[in-house]
Chains A and B, each alone.
Chain A
Amino acid sequence: MSEAHDADAVIRTRGLTKRYGPVVAVDGIDLDVRAGDVYGFLGANGSGKTTTVRMLLGLVLATSGEAEVLGEPMPRSAATVLPRVGTLVEGPAAYPHLTGRGNLELFDAMGSPRRGRKDRVSDVLERVGLTIAGDRKVKGYSLGMRQRLGLAAALLRAPRLLVLDEPTNGLDPQGIREMRDLLLGLNAEGTTIFLSSHLLAEVEQMCTRVGVLDRGQLVVQDDLRHLQAPTGRAVVVTPDGDLAHGLLDGRVESREGDRLVVRADDAATLNRLLVEGGVRVHELGPERRGLEQVVLEATSVKHQVGGSR
């Protein structure tokens, strides 16, 4: 069982720590990203997300702890691991005096054979929707176009793992949607995606697993559907608030105008009870915890602990 699990591990860290002098930027985290995941790596600005990503890629050297990417230790095996990883770290970057295509050809020349270069470059340009703009100098690109170009560069080698840091930064709503569709498509083809973001909604829409970093510590790491499991309560929206309140004596946990939160294991049974009691129901459904709530709970507990130290 554990061997099968290991074979699935795409990113694993044990006690990964980075200190800058007295400051602990990343504090002994144990990441576990499995093949096929869309892993959302959440955290406020300054929580250590970028430092962690940089350690995984061998840009920043860990103070202590271990990191394995695609089953091999980093940064020792960088030369064999990184060719299978596509990265977009802290915003895109390109040589401004060259065209988008020229940039991709230059990056492709770092380690890939010349044969097939034109095709590879045209292919990724098309995937990110830059076929026409690809022949313009990057100097004149908007942030959104740079972001697409960065993703195109990350896709050049058909990576097994994509490590993306805030990939929708600077994109308009249409662009965000295209990016999301593109990433989900790649994931469906078998690419594991490690997505670091501070946008809860983005992670909630795309990810299958979530890790939350708070002040350098990993406070939550679980499947999104576990985190969003029903809470054993139901939400009822009704114009007959008082009637419902009387009917459900003692089971109403809170009430805000038309909206009641009721203790109930089964929403359907609750619905029958209300309707039979003559209560008109606009909306009724099991309460689920939003990701925002999960994150706030996890980080506020941590802060209290931090405060008493």
Chain B
Amino acid sequence: MIRVELVKMIRRPRTWITILMLNALPTLVAVLLAVTDIGPRPGEGPAFLSAVLTDGTLFPLAALAIVLPLFMPVAVSVVSGDAIAGEASGGTLRYVLTRPVGRTRLLVAKLVSVLAFVLLSVVVVAVVGYVVGLLLLGNGDTSGLVTGVSGSSLTSTQLVERTLLSIVYVSLSMLGVAAMALMLSTFTDSSIGAALGALAFLIASTLLLTLDAANALQPYLPTRYWLSFVDLFRDPIQWRDILRGVGLQGVYVLVFLGAGWANFTTKDITS
């Protein structure tokens, strides 16, 4: 069933249109930077953006930092929110379930397919970012050393390793949203409703992060550690927030998926 869901995802035009759109903004940013040569001052604007002017190979990270706070979650919510609700409103859910495909199996297959989508889009954004960065901004450092966030130099091997780690971390960060949207998707026949519900949850989280009165809540908010992948480029790597971020996403996945499962397996399918 997992294979069937993956095939469905890959053969769906929407998947590729979404990924294309995800890459549009970072590419536009790269073009603007290359043409104007005006970067944000260090410490301002999206992470890594001030560094890419001198070294285009850092652009994959800048690209991830650009899409992570808003565009990635939108894409993930749309795909994940459509998982069950889309089949329900299209009428195919009743035929899938009477093939029969067990409800738990279907839910797991849907989750795996959403994860594959997340990974696919993160990798594509990183690869496109690398190509665009190299072409437009150039490989500024001929010595093979790249300046990390802490100011010390990273070798190319270190840079590749850490970029790969970032890709994994960013993908994991999307799991909470994916699980939330998937849960909502089992409650409604409206894909848009499920996607917007998950986004509302993220917007609430982002808003509470800026509110001092919500200090006590902040370590538990899903978006709290999203940009912590920057810490991977410090010397030495600061693991604390990264590990917390992974753990927090794990908890969200368990809770939301559990609730979604409990609902979906006991629900009357009337669509």
Give me the interface of A with B, judged by CB distance under 8 Å: 54, 57-61, 78-79, 82-83, 85, 87, 89-98, 102, 106-107, 109-111, 153
Contact = CB atoms under 8 A, between A and B. Distances in A.
B91 interface: yes
Interface stretch (B33-41, B93-101, B228-236, B251-259): B93-101
Interface string B1-34: 1011001100111000000000000000000000
A interface SS class: loop
B247 interface: no
Contact of A57 (B1, B7, B92, B98): B98
Nearest to A61: B268
B129 to A, nearest CB: 29
Interface in B89-144: 90-92, 94-102
Contact of B270 (A60, A79, A97): A60
Contact of B92 (A59, A85, A93, A102): A93
B4 A109 contact: yes
Given A93-B91, A95-B90, A107-B95, A78 B270 contact: no
Given A89-B98, A95-B92, A107-B99, 5 more contacts: A59-B98, A89-B95, A92-B91, A109-B4, A110-B1
Contact of B98 (A61, A82, A91, A106): A82
Interface in B219-271: 266, 268-270
A111 B96 CA distance: 10
Interface residues of B, number: 24
A82 B269 contact: no
A194 to B, nearest CB: 13
Interface of B: 1, 3-4, 7-8, 11-13, 90-92, 94-102, 266, 268-270
Given A54-B270, A95-B90, A109-B3, A59 B13 contact: no
A111 B99 contact: yes
Nearest to B13: A97
A83 B92 contact: no
B73 to A, nearest CB: 25
A59 B97 contact: yes
B95 A93 contact: yes
Contact of A83 (B4, B94, B96, B100): B100
Contacts of B268: 54, 59-61
Contacts of A89: 94-95, 98
Contacts of A54: 94, 268-270
B8 to A, nearest CB: 7
Contact of A79 (B3, B8, B95, B102): B102
A85 B98 contact: yes
A76 to B, nearest CB: 12
Contact of A94 (B8, B92, B97): B92
A17 to B, nearest CB: 14
Contacts of A85: 98
Given A93-B90, A93-B92, A93-B94, A82 B270 contact: no
Contacts of A95: 8, 90, 92
A89 B269 CA distance: 12
A153 B100 contact: no
Contacts of A98: 11
Contacts of A60: 268-270
A275 to B, nearest CB: 59
Contacts of B12: 97
Nearest to A105: B7
A82 B92 contact: no
Contacts of A91: 91
A61 B98 CA distance: 14
Contacts of A93: 90-92, 94-95
A80 to B, nearest CB: 9
A83 B99 CA distance: 6
Nearest to A55: B268
Contact of B11 (A58, A61, A96, A97): A97
